[in-house]
Amino acid sequence: MKEYWECTYAALTWPDGKGPNILVDDGGDATMMILEGSKWEVKYEESQVLPDPSKYNSEDERMLYEVLRDTIPTNPTKFRDMLKDFYGCSEETTTGVHRLI
């Protein structure tokens, strides 16, 4: 499962350092990573706090927050920088929409 989130992170990491400015997302995973990543970047900037994966119930969530915990210190503005040029996203599934609410 962690490899899945690492691949999602890699898909959002472009050679120019910017990342996508629009997403057609299936399941909301990339969108959730961008939104949660930007929230945790702010917390990290303000107080050096990173997500604690053990506080989440599902393996999926634990792995997402593990990847965020491991990557935010290496690029603490990645997701907020991406959001500056972000136009939006389209979610393909009802399940994905519910995950983002």
Which pLDDT tens digits describe the chain residue by residue (101 residues)?
789 999 999 999 999 888 899 988 777 889 899 999 999 999 999 999 999 999 999 999 999 999 999 999 999 999 999 999 888 888 777 676 666 66
- Secondary structure (DSSP) of 2-37: HHHHHHHHHHT--TTS---SEEEESSSHHHHHHHHH
Domain range list for the chain: 2-12+21-100
* Class of residue 25 by CB neighbours under 10 A (exposed 0-12, middle 13-18, buried 19+): buried
